[in-house]
């Protein structure tokens, strides 16, 4: 799977959020789908995922968070 015309833009309405733009293609370049003409909000997409998915990725961030807390760089 490939993404063409990909770009990220800050969500002007939600601080810290990003909007993903791009065309989703197969390996032969055939268009499979898009992120929509207005793009897809990361935060909006995130809250729609099931709990198990969110738990898996949150777990990936835990060690980074811990490191920053210890280093005093966490907000």
Partner 1 sequence: MATYYVRTDGDNSNTGTGPATTQAWQTIGKVFASGSVVTGGDIVYIAPGTYTESINVLATSPTSKVQIIGNPTASQFPGVNAGVVKLSAFNAAGTSVTFANTYLISGTSKNYYSFSNMIFEGSHTSSVSVVEFFTSRYIQFDKCVFRTENAPGLSSGGQLRLTATASTPLDASITNCYFGPSSVIGAYLTGASQSTDTTIFSNCYFDAHTDCLPLYFLTASVVNCTFVGQTSAILQAGGGANAFLTIKNCLFKRCGTAIQGTSSVSGAQTYNRFVSCTTDVINIPTSVTSTTTGVFGVDSFESLLFGLNNLQPGTSYDNSPNKSFGNATGAPATDLYGVTWTGTSPDAGSGTYRVITSNPTNIQYNGGVERNASAITIAPGSTSQSVELYLGATGLTFATSGLAAYYVRNRAAPTPITLVAAPNPTWVSGGFAEIDSATVPGLYRLDLPDAALNAGADDVTVVVRGASGTNGAVLTIKLSAGGLTAAQTASAVLDAVASIHNNAGSIGASIQDKAGYSLSTPQSFSTTGSVGSVTGNVAGNVTGTVGGVVGNVVGNITGSVATVATPDNIIDGVWDEQRTGHTGAGSFGEKLQTNALADEMLARDLGSSLNAGTAEERTVRSALRALRNKINVGSSQMVVKKEDDTTDAWTATVTTTAVSSNVSGIDPN
Piece of 10-18, 20-28, 35-43, 46-54 that binds partner 1 (CB under 8 A) = 20-28
58 touching partner 1, by CB under 8 A: no
Q: Figure out which of the listed residues 5, 49, 54, 58 binds partner 1, where binding follows CB under 8 A.
A: 5
Q: Which of 66, 8, 3, 1 is nearest to 42 (CA)?
A: 8
Scan for tokens 């032969």, then name that residue: 28
* Residues facing residue 23 across a β-bridge: 4, 34
Asked if 27 is part of the footprint of partner 1 (rule: CB under 8 A), the reply reads yes
**Taking the complex as a whole, how short is the minimal distance between the CB of residue 19 and partner 1, in angstroms?**
15
Residues that bind partner 1 (CB under 8 A): 1-6, 22, 25, 27-29, 63-64, 66-68
């Amino acid at each position: 799977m490939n993404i063409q015309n990909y770009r990220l833009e800050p969500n002007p309405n939600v601080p810290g959020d990003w909007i993903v733009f791009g065309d989703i293609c197969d390996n032969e370049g055939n268009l499979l789908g898009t992120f929509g003409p207005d793009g897809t909000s990361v935060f909006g997409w995130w809250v729609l995922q099931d709990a198990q998915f969110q738990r898996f990725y949150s777990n990936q961030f835990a060690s980074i968070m811990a490191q920053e807390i210890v280093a005093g760089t966490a907000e």
